[in-house]
Amino acid sequence: MTFPKRAGFYWAKWLSADRGTEHGSTLTPSGDWDVVYVYENGFDPKETEFLRVLVVGVEQSQSLKNFEWGAGPLTPPQ
């Protein structure tokens, strides 16, 4: 499985939610591709939680492993 290597916006399908995510069991798995934001969550790129995912409308960030990844990072239209 391929994961994002840097911060940015990506296409992703949300397959499972981290423990404690409010409404996680009703939001996942999703069969739709959505744009999510991957951000740096630390200083050491070797750490497993260095990159985390923000999903619109969800208060808790998610692990990269919870998603099927598509294209990204997306660039803004010119």
Note the pLDDT tens digit of each residue in 22-50. 999 999 999 999 999 999 999 998 888 99
Alpha-helix runs per DSSP H in 1-78: 24-27
Strands 8-14 and 67-69: antiparallel
pLDDT of residue 78: 67
Distance CA 78, CA 71 (A): 18
Instruction: Give the pTM.
Output: 0.88
At position 10, the amino acid (one-letter code) is: Y
